[in-house]
């Protein structure tokens, strides 16, 4: 628990002596049992086998626990939250605040002194209240696709690591931020087959450099419907609301039921009217273009299965749709656009912990094997390890928002590590080599350590953490003094200013380094310097899993 003392550390020789005593005791005990066996016939043999197995398992667990206790970077053993890792607790508290920085609407208990109410009339042209929700990055458009992904990952984090978040006083802020998003998503779904997916026009919005509190530009609405479907955005919103229904199930049952009702309706809409929103609405291609909707359908159905336990959703992912969209054994990168690796890990959870009639499904095993292929791709010593990384070991896929993929990958690796520990699964195999839960956790730690400053720039990419972090974050509200009076156009002087941002975008995870581990701290460098809320979701997830040690829960329900 928070403030508890560190466990007593022992020297290597002390540890060896204790292990040697246990081994000597074990073999002495076995010798005495062998004497009994010789005089006891087959009953003696049976007794020896039972005792041998029980003692062997006990010693394995004991030594495993001792190994983890002696290594501060080791993976956890199942149990209640353990000793807090202070640096990760501090980083988590900072990362959580970016959701407050990005909130739209009438702010409640506002903790960001330079933020105020904004977007209060959003949705009014359709007689809807779309004032809540969050701005996705440094501008003021509400993009429903990445916003829903942010909510899904935040829900997943709370469901898996809520006890650990509570131990460092971050559970309630996470629940509040989640509800701020889900309130918006519910209101954005006024009819079964209509979902509003965007507030604001990016082209209009990007002509201005202003604070959200002072916006005067038009805020048009964009929707998907039966005439212009958007399978991936409707399915992702279904996933967000289904996962959130589990978060609020024991907090507010009526709200949880409302979320689940909308999730089911949206999934039916997404599945019945199959079309990519990038095709139905070509204007979205420049900003959050989708590369396909099959992954979102599997992802949403997986969450609905967890939320409802209904056989329909299980058969959806293990039947023809699984064959069509699962792409068994493929290596993909978890992101706002591609949920396949996330779905594979989430369905592996069912294989690890589901009821016997469900968990033994051959198709579930395919999902788990596919998830393990993703893990093998991440582990640096694996024969199949990716070469897509910087010299200092950061996974690196794209120069735009480079940190999204390594942090999201580390989040999945940590989850899978904890699934293995909780289920007493000791290893995974990667082309003949085997790796342990500890190996996966060490990979996750390597990525977060890079983010927090263990990199060639000696810079924390989490704004507000440490002594050296980006000062010129590409973020309008942070770049303009709170008391400044600016319109749409004259605010650009703050974009071009040589001075650091007057306001700290606390908790922002910026885009990150180039392939050569370099970073240019310039407000005009949006490739590297623009933060996003979906980056925040995955770093909050990763830090929540690392902040202390405990097992995941066996069931969300």
List the catalytic residue out of 140, 262, 306, 474. Answer: 474
Assigned token pair, 430: 């990667």
Active site residue 474: yes
Q: How many whole angstroms separate alpha carbon 538 and alpha carbon 439?
A: 20
CA-CA distances (angstroms) from residue 407 to 86, 161, 412, 461, 475? 20, 17, 9, 12, 21
Query: Torsions phi, psi of 137, nearest 5?
Result: -150, -130
The whole-angstrom separation of Cα 99 and Cα 154 is 11
User: Both tokens of residue 345?
Assistant: 């890990």
Name the token pair of 369: 């094997």
Phi-psi region of 41 (alpha: psi -120 to 50; beta: other; left: phi over 0): left
Q: How many residues does the chain have?
A: 557
Phi (first) and psi of residue 314, to 5 degrees: -65, -45
For residue 182, give the nearest of 216, 218, 158 by alpha carbon.
158
Closest CA to 151 of 354, 299, 370, 314: 299
Three-class secondary structure of residue 148 per DSSP = helix
Structure tokens that stand for 238 in this block = 């279904």
What pairs with residue 198 in β-bridges?
143, 222
Q: Which parts of 206-361 fold into alpha helices (H)?
A: 231-247, 253-272, 277-280, 285-288, 294-308, 311-318, 320-325, 340-353, 356-359
Task: Please tell me the distance from the alpha carbon of residue 402 to that of residue 461, in angstroms, as a whole number.
Answer: 11
Chain centre distance of CA 157: 6
Place of tokens 């890792």: 85
Active site residues: 474
């Amino acid at each position: 628990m928070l403030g508890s003392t560190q466990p007593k550390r022992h020297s290597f020789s002390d540890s060896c002596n204790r292990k040697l005593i246990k081994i000597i005791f074990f073999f002495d005990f076995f010798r005495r049992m062998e004497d009994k066996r010789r005089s006891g016939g087959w009953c003696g043999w049976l007794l020896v086998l039972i005792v041998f197995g029980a003692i062997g398992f006990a010693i394995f667990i004991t030594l495993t626990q001792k190994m983890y206790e002696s290594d501060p970077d080791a993976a956890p053993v199942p149990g209640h939250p353990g000793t807090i890792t202070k640096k990760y607790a501090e980083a988590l508290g900072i990362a959580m605040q970016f959701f407050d920085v990005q909130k739209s609407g009438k702010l409640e208990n506002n903790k960001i002194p330079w933020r105020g109410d904004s977007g209060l009339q959003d949705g009014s042209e359709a007689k809807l209240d779309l004032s809540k929700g969050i701005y996705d990055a440094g501008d003021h458009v509400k993009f429903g696709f990445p916003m829903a992904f942010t909510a899904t990952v935040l829900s997943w984090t709370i469901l898996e690591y809520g006890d650990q978040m509570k131990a460092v006083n971050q559970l309630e802020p996470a629940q509040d931020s989640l509800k701020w998003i889900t309130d918006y998503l519910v209101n954005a779904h006024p009819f079964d087959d209509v979902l509003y997916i965007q507030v604001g026009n990016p082209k209009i919005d990007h002509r201005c450099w202003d604070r959200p509190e002072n916006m005067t530009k038009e805020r048009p609405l964009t929707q998907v419907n039966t005439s212009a479907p958007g399978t991936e955005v409707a399915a992702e919103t279904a996933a967000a609301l289904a996962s959130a229904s589990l978060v609020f199930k024991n907090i507010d049952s009526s709200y949880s039921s409302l979320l689940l009702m909308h999730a089911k309706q949206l999934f039916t809409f997404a599945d019945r009217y199959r079309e990519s929103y990038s095709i139905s609405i070509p204007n979205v291609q420049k900003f959050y273009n989708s590369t396909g909707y099959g992954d979102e359908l599997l992802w949403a159905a997986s969450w609905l299965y967890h939320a409802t336990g209904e056989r329909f959703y299980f058969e959806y992912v293990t039947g023809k749709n699984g064959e069509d969209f699962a792409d068994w054994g493929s290596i993909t990168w978890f992101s706002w656009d591609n949920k396949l690796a996330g779905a594979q890990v989430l369905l592996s959870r069912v294989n690890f912990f589901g009821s016997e009639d469900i968990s033994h499904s051959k198709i579930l095993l395919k999902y788990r094997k596919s998830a393990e292929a993703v893990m093998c791709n991440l582990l640096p010593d694996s024969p199949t390890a990716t070469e897509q990384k910087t010299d200092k070991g950061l996974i690196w896929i794209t120069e735009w928002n480079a940190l999204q993929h390594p942090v999201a990958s580390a989040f999945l690796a940590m989850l899978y590590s904890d699934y293995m520990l909780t289920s007493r699964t000791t290893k995974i195999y990667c082309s003949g080599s085997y790796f342990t839960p500890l190996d996966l956790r060490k990979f996750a730690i390597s990525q977060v350590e890079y983010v927090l400053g263990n990199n060639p720039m000696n810079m924390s990419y989490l704004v507000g953490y440490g002594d050296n972090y980006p000062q010129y974050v590409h973020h309008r509200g942070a770049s303009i003094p709170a008391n400044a009076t600016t319109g749409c156009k004259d605010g650009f002087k703050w974009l071009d200013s040589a001075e650091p941002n007057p306001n700290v975008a606390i908790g922002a995870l910026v885009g990150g380094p180039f392939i050569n581990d370099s970073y240019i701290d310039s407000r005009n460098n949006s490739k590297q310097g623009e933060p996003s809320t979906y980056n925040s979701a995955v770093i909050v997830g990763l830090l929540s899993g690392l902040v202390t040690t405990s097992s995941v829960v066996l069931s969300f329900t």
